[in-house]
């Protein structure tokens, strides 16, 4: 099945998440467009027909084209990972063990842990090892249902190191069949080794990121987005807005890390600054969500991060949905969170965030695609989009949320080509 030509027929549940040209919000967050006895025809890697088996096969039956019989199974769009940091060196499992043993984040950081430890390890790692780690992570992502993935830099924090990380992410496109979206994350944390000439390190680094670093990234031409952190003790709303304004001036759309550790006006800042998404939002106050109201900025929620970080609050997904904010869900795969399965993250998001299976599915497919400006290519089963889909051993998608969803994943197709199968 290497030509990208295939028919999938007899699906007990075909989850189309049909794209009407708009991101899903409010009541439409949970509209998954279910078709019984569904079928999809893919030719040359592109979806040519979607509907019931009778409808599709009336026009697309061809005994020379491979056919997948999905009787008793669910077929759904390939998942879209819209927040990951897969390029890193070193290990941080000891930090999590310390946290589980009662240590605070401050105590872990004081002994040299946290993001800074990953910056040091990544700077010291050789390219061969970093690329090998990426390849292994990408394989696991695919077997977690991911067919498109956003990948961030952010463990370099100097002009040269960030540019080099972006170059490696560009090279990594050859390591996976997934579609990759590359994001520049210079404003991740303030580097501890920054020479601020006795000034304010955060402001000095803000000036660097918003000036020479962004200019160099634009000139390099690899990054498709810039991500900016808005967190108390890292970058203030004003500092983030300055970086975002410069990025937009140069034509690079922004994303925002916000409110992961405490309320920091991150959600409000992301919307004010015109970010396409704001990500984490664990501590965004309900009053701030209400005050901002309806917006096109996508709220990307990261339930596994909240579990690993042992936060005492969870992002209020239902508050965002009630305010007509589109919600997406992602893994936050990074140096401290080794969650590569978006399928398992999706099913965890249901009970963790108290949202329905359908709302979680939309969050991992179409809304995630909109947050990456790729909704014309992926995120739903629509004619003209890439033939990315999953075949799952359950008769209805709700069943995915009752157990270990990865065990139900039978087949992953990217561009109509099988990239993983239980029978292999």
The DSSP output letter for 399 is G
Q: Taking residues 380-388, what's their average pLDDT?
A: 98
Contacts of 51 (CB under 8 A, 6+ apart): 35, 38, 39
**CA nearest neighbour of 320 among 280, 351, 358, 348:** 280
Q: Are 406 and 345 in contact (CB under 8 A)?
A: no
Which of 1-5, 319-323, 382-386 has the lowest average pLDDT?
A: 1-5
For the CA atoms of 78, 224, 232, 201, what is the dihedral angle to 10 degrees?
150
Q: Are 186 and 247 in contact (CB under 8 A)?
A: no
Q: State the pLDDT confidence band at 110, using cuts at 50, 70 and 90.
A: low
**Over 80: is that where the pLDDT of 405 sits?**
yes
pLDDT digits (tens, 9 = 90+) for 328-344: 999 999 988 999 999 99
**Over 70: is that where the pLDDT of 112 sits?**
no
**Over 80: is that where the pLDDT of 115 sits?**
no
Query: Where does 11-158 have alpha helices with state H?
Result: 53-60, 93-100, 105-110, 115-124, 127-142
Q: Taking residues 235-247, what's their average pLDDT?
A: 98
Coil/strand/helix, residue 87:
coil
The DSSP output letter for 314 is -
Q: Report the C-alpha gap between 89 and 119 in whole angstroms.
A: 8
Of residues 95 and 31, more confidently modeled:
31
pLDDT digits (tens, 9 = 90+) for 192-230: 888 766 678 999 999 999 999 999 999 999 999 999 999
Within 10 angstroms of residue 104's Cβ, the number of other Cβ atoms is: 10
Contacts of 312 (CB under 8 A, 6+ apart): none
Which of 27-31, 95-99, 269-273, 381-385 has the lowest average pLDDT?
A: 95-99
Give the pLDDT score at 1: 45
Q: Taking residues 169-198, what's their average pLDDT?
A: 91
Q: Taking residues 152-158, what's their average pLDDT?
A: 94
Q: Report the C-alpha gap between 350 and 345 in whole angstroms.
A: 9
Q: Are 325 and 28 in contact (CB under 8 A)?
A: no
Cα four-point dihedral sign 266, 184, 301, 282: negative
Q: Report the C-alpha gap between 114 and 210 in whole angstroms.
A: 24
Give the pLDDT score at 53: 98
Q: Taking residues 404-417, what's their average pLDDT?
A: 95
Give the pLDDT score at 421: 53
pLDDT digits (tens, 9 = 90+) for 292-318: 999 999 999 999 999 999 999 999 999
Give the pLDDT score at 420: 62
Q: Report the C-alpha gap between 293 and 290 in whole angstroms.
A: 5
Give the pLDDT score at 192: 85
Give me the residues paired with residue 384 across strands: none
**Over 80: is that where the pLDDT of 422 sits?**
no
Of residues 120 and 75, more confidently modeled:
75
Q: Report the C-alpha gap between 150 and 84 in whole angstroms.
A: 6
Q: Are 270 and 294 in contact (CB under 8 A)?
A: no
Q: State the pLDDT confidence band at 371, using cuts at 50, 70 and 90.
A: very high
Q: Report the C-alpha gap between 313 and 182 in whole angstroms.
A: 30
Give the pLDDT score at 403: 84
**CA nearest neighbour of 90 among 132, 131, 127, 119:** 119
pLDDT digits (tens, 9 = 90+) for 26-60: 999 999 999 999 999 999 999 999 999 999 999 99
**CA nearest neighbour of 330 among 183, 131, 126, 113:** 183
Q: Measure Cα distances from 23 to 59, 77, 224, 292 in Å.
A: 30, 16, 20, 18
Token pair for 359: 């709302």
**Over 70: is that where the pLDDT of 96 sits?**
no
Q: Taking residues 267-277, what's their average pLDDT?
A: 98
Q: Are 304 and 332 in contact (CB under 8 A)?
A: yes
Query: Where does 310-365 have alpha helices with state H?
Result: 317-322, 342-353, 357-364
What is the β-pairing status of strands 327-329 and 67-69?
unpaired
What is the model's pTM? Answer: 0.95
Q: Are 223 and 184 in contact (CB under 8 A)?
A: yes
pLDDT more than 70, % of the chain: 95
Q: What is the mean pLDDT of the chain?
A: 94
Give the pLDDT score at 113: 63
Q: Taking residues 58-84, what's their average pLDDT?
A: 97
Give the pLDDT score at 109: 67
Give the pLDDT score at 320: 98
Q: Taking residues 7-36, what's their average pLDDT?
A: 97
Q: Taking residues 89-118, what's their average pLDDT?
A: 72
Give backbone dihedrals phi and psi of 300, rounded to 5 degrees, phi first.
-95, 115
């Amino acid at each position: 099945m290497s030509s990208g030509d295939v028919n999938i027929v007899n699906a007990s549940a075909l989850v189309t998440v049909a794209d009407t040209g708009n991101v899903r919000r409010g009541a439409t967050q949970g509209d998954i467009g279910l078709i019984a006895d569904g079928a999809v025809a893919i030719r040359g890697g592109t979806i040519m027909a979607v509907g019931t088996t009778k409808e599709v096969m009336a026009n697309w039956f061809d005994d020379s084209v491979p056919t997948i019989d999905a009787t008793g199974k669910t077929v759904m769009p390939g998942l879209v990972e819209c927040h990951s940091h897969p390029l890193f060196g070193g290990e941080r499992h000891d930090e999590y063990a310390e946290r589980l043993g009662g240590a605070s984040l401050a105590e872990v950081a004081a002994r040299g842990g946290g993001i800074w430890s990953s910056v040091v390890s990544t700077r010291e790692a050789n390219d061969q090892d970093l690329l090998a780690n990426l390849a292994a992570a990408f394989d696991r992502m695919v077997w977690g249902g991911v067919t498109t993935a956003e990948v961030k830099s952010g463990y370099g924090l100097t002009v040269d190191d960030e540019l080099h990380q972006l170059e490696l992410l560009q090279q990594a496109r050859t390591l996976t069949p997934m579609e990759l979206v590359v994001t520049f994350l210079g404003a991740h944390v303030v580097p501890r080794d920054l020479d601020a000439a006795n000034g304010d390190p955060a402001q000095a680094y803000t000036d660097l990121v918003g000036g020479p670093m962004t200019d160099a990234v634009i000139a390099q031409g690899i990054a498709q987005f810039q991500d900016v952190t808005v967190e108390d003790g890292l970058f203030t709303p004003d500092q983030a807005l300055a970086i975002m304004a410069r990025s937009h001036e140069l034509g690079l759309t922004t994303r925002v890390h916000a409110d992961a550790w405490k309320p920091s006006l991150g959600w409000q800042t992301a919307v004010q600054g015109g970010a396409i998404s704001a990500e984490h939002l664990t501590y965004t106050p309900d009053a701030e969500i209400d005050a901002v109201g309806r917006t096109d900025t996508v709220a990307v929620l990261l339930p596994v991060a909240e579990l690993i970080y042992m936060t005492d609050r969870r992002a209020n997904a239902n508050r965002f949905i009630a305010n007509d904010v589109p919600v997406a869900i992602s893994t936050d795969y990074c140096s401290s969170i080794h969650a590569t399965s978006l399928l398992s993250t999706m099913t965890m998001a249901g009970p963790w965030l108290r949202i329905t299976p359908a709302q979680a599915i939309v969050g991992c497919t179409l809304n995630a695609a909109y947050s990456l400006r790729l909704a014309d290519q992926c995120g739903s089963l629509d004619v003209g989009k890439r033939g990315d889909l999953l075949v799952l051993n359950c008769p209805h998608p709700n069943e995915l949320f009752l157990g270990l969803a990865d065990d139900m994943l039978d087949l992953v197709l990217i561009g109509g080509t099988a990239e993983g199968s239980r029978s292999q």
